Every structure is written in structure tokens, then in C-alpha cells.
A and B are shown apart, each in its own frame.
Chain A
Amino acid sequence: MLIFSVFKTLTDQEVTVELKNDLSIIGTLKSVDQFLNIKLDNIRVLDEDRHPHMMAVRNVFIRGSVVRYVQLPRQAVDTQLLEDATRRESSNQKR
């Protein structure tokens, strides 16, 4: 639930999602769910030469399980808040 909550605060931010097949997609984070599935609007593919062209595609739904990383804007993240929330989450034994 913690990371899900973090992503919910990041909606309408521009993020870069790197998939496990090495494709990187930049887009506006529109929605996220409990599985960390992601919906991005107005996407563009990074490094277009080496990766499939999705020129006709504007918006995508990405299954959470295929994500390797999500690059976030540093200023959108309150690291102190995150650390405190993580300590609380781990002490709740919510594994």
C-alpha cells in the first residue's frame, strides 16, 4: 500500500518507465492501481532508433509486473515523509 500511495501522489507528473524488455517510455502518470499497473498519457519512446516505434500510440496501460524502474522527479518526492511512512509500515508487520 505504501508504494501505491506514493504513486497516487505523483499523478500528472512526467515519469520515465523502464520495462524489463529495456524499452523506456516517458509519459504523464495518469493512474496507478494496487498492482502498480500504470497508465501513461502522451507517451514518447526514449532512444527511438533501437526500440519499437509506437508513433501511433498516445496513451498506454502498462502491466505492473513488466516494470523494472520508474524514474521520478526528485522534487515530487518527500523523502523524509517516505522514510517515516516506511518505518511505520514495517513496524505494522504488514508483510
Chain B
Amino acid sequence: MGEEVILLDFWPSMFRMRVRIALAEKGVKYEYRDEDLLKGGKSRYLLQVNPAHKKIPVLIHNGKPISKSSIIVQYINEVWNDKAPLLPSNPYERAQARVWTDYIDKKVYDAGRKLWTTTGEEQEAAKKDFFEIFKTLEGQLGGEPYFGEENLGYVDVYLIPYYCWFHAYETMANISMEGECPKLVAWAKRCAQKKSVSESLVDEKKISGFVLK
């Protein structure tokens, strides 16, 4: 079909994992190019295709760049719409999925980061906040196997990359994800059994190693 799909990213980025999972769910073939942000300086290619944001991941489809993982995943869902729909067809359910990915965007990353950038009382407060967020998400799951109900959906794809950070969170803050959010951990393990997920998630020990550096 003459499609050219390139994914520019940095390996530990959880935002990239979302895009990889979405592409895998849809069976899209793509070329991956690593942007090593730590080596300093972004490649000229990245700056050329993504001048506004200078951030990864960037998906380049037939020469057209799309950035921001939420936007990329929705784009992938709309273009390759023949299989594995990631968003429900009902507008209200779609809105709910978008509200929760927006919540994840605004809350999870920063809460996680605070676990290793704070100590003492501040860290205790950070832990409380962190679990409140994850318990809220756990509550949203209800009794369904996935946030997308029967199958992986937008919210699952959005949240699951954090699974490979659980080990780092647990090590840095001396917490137990399974202890506090068993249903969520069960959900994560269930997702990880899917090929699209297991092949896209980075090994948790590599993440911990990266964080501890």
C-alpha cells in the first residue's frame, strides 16, 4: 500500500510505549528510530519534523508528523479503523475515555515523580496522593477486565506503560502496588499477557536502573 510509518522516540519513554501498543493492536508496520535524549541535543531530524514541541514521541505517517501520545493514539485509531477499535463508538463513552486519559495525563506522571524527588514528610504526602490517584483509577475499572471493557481500549493503552514503572516506584518509595491496589495490578498483568503490550513494555529493571542513575 506504500505507507511509510516512522516512530521517533526515546526508549524508556512511557509515552512511546502507548504509541507502540496502539500500532501493534492495529497491526501497523513501522520503523522505529531512537532519539537518545541523554546523549544531549536532539537530532536535526527531530527538530525538523517537530519544531513546535521538540518532544518525542513523534509519529511520521507518509511524511506528516503527529506529536503528543494522546493525539497520536487517536490518530492511529482513526486511520487504521478496520480492526481493534480503541475508542467506543458511543459519544458518551468516548467522552468518558477521554476524561480519564486527561486525568492520567494531569495526575499520574507528576505523582510518580514526587515519589523519588521528595523525602520525609513530603514523601509521605506524595505516597498518599499517589495511591489516591491509583485507587480512583482502580474504581473506574469496576468489575471489567479492561477499561475498554471486553478489550484493550484507549485508557488501557494510556495507563499500562506505567506498569513498568511500578518496580521503580516501589523501590524508591518503599511501597507495595499490589498491597494497595490489587485490582489494578491484576489488570496490569492481564494487559501484559497481550502480545501488543508485552512486546512494547520496557523491562521494569531497566526502568529502575535508569531512574536510579
The answer to whether A and B come from one shared complex is no
Residues on B lying within 8 angstroms of A by beta carbon are none
Residues on A lying within 8 angstroms of B by beta carbon are none
